[in-house]
Chains A and B, each alone.
Chain A
Amino acid sequence: MRFSTPSGMNRRHFMSHLAGASALGASALALGHTLQLNANQLKRNRKSAILLWMGGGPASIDIWDLKPGAATGGPFKPIATNGDLQICEHMPMMAKNMDKMSIVRAMSTREADHDRGRYYMHTGYVPNPNVQYPSYGSVISHQLAHTRPELEIPPFIAVGGGSEGPGFLGMAWAPFTVDANGQVRDLAPGIEMNRMAQRVQALRQMESEFIAERRGAAAEEHAKVIGKTLNLMTSQQMSAFQVNQESTEVQERYGRNNFGRSCLMARRLVEVGVPFVECTLGGWDNHQNIFPTLQNNLLPTLDRAMSALLEDLAQRGLLQDTAVIWMGEFGRTPRINGNAGRDHWARSWSVAVGGAGMKPGIAIGETNADGTEIVGTSWSSEDLMASVCKSLGISLETTFTSTDGRPMKIANSGKIIQELFT
């Protein structure tokens, strides 16, 4: 690289300086004006997905697939909803929004360990020491990023918790993790922009020389991530993280807690074009005293935030393009243990899914009277992932090449859950 004579630079100039480096795509030149685009323009070709991740393994038997009267059922009662199914009495606000979501009550998986379950539900693959599979957010943002060249902030954002990584897709598709307050650390350079640009220009030369020494792929990944970082540092889209810009009333509707803020942020991020947002609500590993914990704490938090998110997405016309997935690493035992809790259970449990054209308001599949077995067809993580991909217009024929050169079909060749598309 030749060094040009330094001179004064404005922001555009800064980016154009950097754009000479290959890792920085055309997006860098389109400086942040997307916030000014109106909702109608945003809707076009704007598929997105929001994953509501319930860390610890939620007791879906107490939320979406109640077994009143069964010994395994627990104390909660089902209530009617505006969809064609019943849910838990402690989810009254969601009961008014079940015309937007469906419940897959026939999930049957095999991974009942947290690490393994989290990995499997995020990737559609069981852990394999030789291949790192990419997670939902990495796959979907990788597939959809090209549809929004004006996006300057990372296409996969994880709010308030840990997701799974990009695996063989590389660090450029890793989740960008922020806390629920939307504080992004170390964003401001603290020096003048043109000086920063000169530093970065020098840095890029050093990086490329090290890459050329062929010491490993990780060196190259770093250069790509620098490109993404520069994009973000100079973007007005970063204001999407500022949930406190919303009115008090809106913040109250989502709930003044981390999960509420996460869901509100997810809506704002989808509005600026982020294709994948993951929001985490932890604390579902209820081996003891499960019912008070659910009733007094987790369910009210979930109910408020999830219903507000769905209402807002629908009201803004975004729900038809935004898939919403609610799940954890597994369900919980259809048996109440000696500590008044439920343990890990993967054989028969539920997830919630909706938006992006998927049929809402229905229960798909069923469990037996005490919730211990699936009756009829069961569904897996791969199937759910394949269905979400289909809803987003991502071809299930899409094939990745893993680092070892093997072709890998998207969503591990999962089957589409047909009821969602009839």
Chain B
Amino acid sequence: MALCEVQRIVGAGLFPVRILLFADVLNFFHSGGRINPSKNQREPRLACFSAPIWLLCLTFTATLFSNGELIAQTTINSHITSVQFTTSRMSVEAPELGYGARGFNDIPPQVLRINDQFESIWAETGLRPSSEATDYEWCRRVHLDLIGRIPTVEELSSFVQDKADDKRLKLVNRLLYDDFYTEEIARNWTTLWTNLLIGRTGGNGNNSMISRTGMQKYLRDSFARNKPYDQLAKELITATGSAQPDAVDFNGATNFLIDKVNMENAAQATAATSRIFLGVQVQCTQCHNHPFNDWKQQKYWEFNAFFRQVRGFRGATDAESPKLVDQDFRGESGNIDEADLFYELRNGQLKVAYPVFFDGTSLPRSGYVQAINRREKVSELIIQSPWFAQAQVNRIWEHFLGYGFTKPVDDLGSHNPPAYPDLFEFLSEEFRNSGYDLRRLMAWVVLSKPYALSSKTNKGNERDDPLMGLTPAFSHFYLRQMRAEELYESLQIASGAGAQTGSYEEQEARKNRWLQQFATEFGTDEGDETTQFNGTISQVLMMFNGEMVRSATAAEPGSVLAKLFSDNGTKYLDAVDHLFLAGLSRPAKKSERDMAQFLLQARQGDSREALRDVWWVVLNSNQFLFNY
């Protein structure tokens, strides 16, 4: 509610400032007073403020407290307190973007650009786009994709009943910017990024240096604050400190690289960093020039040279946290001022390499961290690279629309040209200009026309099927299964049971245990893995007979069924409708009401028992499992 108020005031032309105090101040002092100038920003960011302004802000905070105009909010984040305030007396020029973004008053122009692009593509290719998704469908979709779960009946109803023209914009604003959803949006993107950075199994092994909890804690703090993406990348690439949350010098960002830097001369750190942040696949070029793309073995090793000044250390005892530490690189021939490394060509010849970025920028060759911190430098070079924004735009586009501008999504380069290059470049440029504001980027996609189309195909667009190897034209929404994590969270919502018990960590641990049954490692040193889950017999068994659906249909206290049962006035068919809304985000159809009547008859008129059957059927239907 507090934020709505803020938004009203903002709407009235007052200036919002949001300051994330203690962590940033700490960071600032930790960095020895260095400021990270952000590139390509239209407006300054708080991180760029000089120390006196910070102090001024702190003082100001106290004053405002006494004025009673302050809206204080304790975020889910345990060591950061974020404070938002608004005042007409503020004279500090405050940033609008990045940390401070507060939603949209109007459809952003980027959305119109996306729409124009696809309308002309559909016209040119003679594709007839599907009709718009219903409010029910769109509401379910946007909940699943932004916050990782289906909507509750209440959320759905209030959206569908809203008659305002801009209700979709309002819902996007609410999911992205309302405090009520901060925890959920952070949880969803933490899940996605944890899987991206350390895999579904990273940190689960007994002998692992990774702290999955530490990784999640760092990401959750970051996504709760909508940390600018360039800052996120920099922190992950350059992190030092302890991996586990209870350590004094805890820095959860270390978990990305901690187990990737030690083995095979940091081969995994090299490959993961370039794949995740640049969309560039270099792993094959470790051993040879790539036959199908531009990557040469030399480039791989020159990039690898950036990751040689770092090492992961285990704690002296099990209780002590592993650490990621910068250390001087002596070079393989022992001359630290010319710290070199050697690699072997396929013909056995040895070649030397020094740190050189893909674009040809080379660093001084000293191996001393004090003289030149190679990770620090490479993080800057990565962020300056045009691929940096592109790789993220591509991934976000794929997240919401099912396919990226390239296939696969993390393989950019001239050997794999993107579809719709103009739009791709435009969005990447806009993303950079926004100060790498991830929520803005998300909003552009979810408010766009392609995202609003039904997944029902028609004669005029059934050929638009990327499974056929064609370039996706996004003339209909592509049906896809929920990810395992989305299914878990959705079942929690649909059953209303179990979700809210225990601390965040306990809830995550429970979810993690549940997910482990579907993740299988391949037995390689790189810890690659698969998820034998979607669409498998194991999944059907889990939904048919597993504990979660069983407890959902058991009408445990607090569950959707228990609430229905407690209200004796609800008619059977209205209760059936409610279950369809709760599970499938739509009311039951005529044929489904008949089905419910059949089950009622089968249960000899016992409506509670019949509703348990209906609920089981709803949760097991293909429709429940899909984002459609």
Q: Do A and B bind each other?
A: yes
Q: CA of A17 to CA of B261 in the docked complex: distance in angstroms?
A: 58
One of B284, B288, B535, B550 near A225 (C-beta < 8 A): B535
Kindly report which residue of chain B lies nearest to residue A402, judged by CB atoms. B469
Tell me which of B470, B481, B542 contacts A185 (CB under 8 A).
B542
- Identify which of B469, B523, B540, B542 contacts A283 (C-beta below 8 A): B523
Any B CB within 8 A of the CB of A37: no
Q: Which segment, of B239-247, B385-393, B437-445, B617-625, faces chain A?
A: B617-625
Is B33 in the interface zone, CB < 8 Å from A?
A: no
Q: How far is the CA of A57 from the CA of B457 in the complex (A)?
A: 44
Is A228 a contact partner of B537 (Cβ separation < 8 A)?
Answer: yes
Using a CB–CB cutoff of 8 Å, the interface residues on chain A facing chain B are 3, 5-6, 55-57, 110, 112-116, 118, 129-131, 154, 158, 161-162, 171, 174-177, 184-190, 195, 198-199, 202-203, 205-207, 209-211, 213-219, 221-223, 225-226, 228-229, 232-233, 280-285, 287-288, 343-344, 402-405
B591 at the interface (CB under 8 A from A): yes
Known: A55-B523, A112-B287, A177-B538. A130 touches B530 (CB 8 A): no
Q: B541's contact among A175, A185, A343, by CB below 8 Å, is which?
A: A185
- Give CA–CA (A176, B532) in the complex, Å: 8
Q: For residue B528, which residues in chain A have a CB less than 8 angstroms away from its CB?
A: 114-115
Contact of A222 among B530, B542, B591, B625 (CB under 8 A): B625
Query: How near does chain A come to B397, taking the closest CB pair, in angstroms?
Result: 16
Which residues of A sit under 8 angstroms from B542, Cβ to Cβ?
185-186
**A218 touching B480, Cβ below 8 Å:** yes
Contacts of A112 in B (CB 8 A): 284, 287-288
> Which of A110, A198, A344 neighbours the largest number of chain B CB atoms within 10 Å of its CB?
A198
Query: Does residue B116 face the partner (Cβ distance < 8 Å to A)?
Result: no
Instruction: Please tell me if B408 contacts chain A, counting CB pairs below 8 Å.
Output: yes
Number of interface residues of B (CB under 8 A): 70
Asked if residues A202 and B617 are in contact (CB atoms below 8 Å), the reply is yes
Q: Which of B406-426 contact A (CB under 8 A)?
A: 407-408, 411, 416
Min CB distance B552 to A, Å, is: 13
Some 15 contacts from A to B, beta carbons below 8 A apart, are: A56-B525, A129-B411, A130-B407, A162-B520, A185-B546, A195-B602, A206-B622, A213-B456, A215-B457, A215-B479, A215-B626, A221-B535, A229-B541, A404-B467, A404-B470
Contact B545 A198 (CB under 8 A): no
The stretch that binds A, out of B96-104, B206-214, B592-600, is B592-600
| Pairwise interchain contact A56-B524, C-beta atoms closer than 8 A | yes
Among candidates B284, B540, B547, B592, residue contacting A113 with C-beta atoms closer than 8 Å: B284
Chain A residues contacting B599 (CB-CB under 8 Å) are: 198-199, 202
- 9 closest residue pairs by CB, A with B: A282-B523, A55-B523, A216-B479, A130-B469, A129-B407, A162-B530, A6-B602, A162-B520, A285-B525
Task: Evaluate contact between A6 and B601: CB separation under 8 angstroms.
Answer: yes
Inter-subunit contact B468/A405 (CB<8 Å) = yes
A84 smallest CB distance to B (angstroms) = 32
B617 touches A199 (CB 8 A): yes
A186 touches B520 (CB 8 A): no
In the assembled complex, which residues on chain A have CB atoms less than 8 Å from the CB atom of B623? Answer: 206, 210, 219
Taking the complex as formed, is B264 at the interface, i.e. its CB lies under 8 A from any CB of chain A?
A: yes
In the complex the two chains form, is B521's CB within 8 Å of A202's CB? Answer: no
Partner of B523 from the list A171, A213, A215, A281 (CB cut-off 8 Å) is A281
The answer to whether the Cβ of B223 comes within 8 Å of any Cβ in the partner chain is no
Task: Find chain A residues with CB under 8 A from B530 CB.
Answer: 162
The residue of chain A having its C-beta at the shortest distance from the C-beta of B479 within the complex is A216
- B166 proximal to A (CB < 8 A): no
Give, as a whole number of angstroms, the nearest-CB distance from B150 to chain A: 16
| Residues from 570 to 616 in B contacting A, C-beta threshold 8 Å | 589, 591-592, 594-595, 598-599, 601-602, 613-614, 616
In the complex, what's the smallest C-beta–C-beta distance from B476 to chain A, in angstroms? 8
A210 contacts B621, C-beta separation under 8 Å: yes
A190→B545 contact, CB < 8 A: yes
Q: Which of B478, B545, B614, B618 contacts A189 (CB 8 A)?
A: B545
> What residues of chain A lie closer than 8 Å to B541, measured between beta carbons?
184-187, 229, 233
Residues of chain A with a CB closer than 8 A to B283's CB: 113
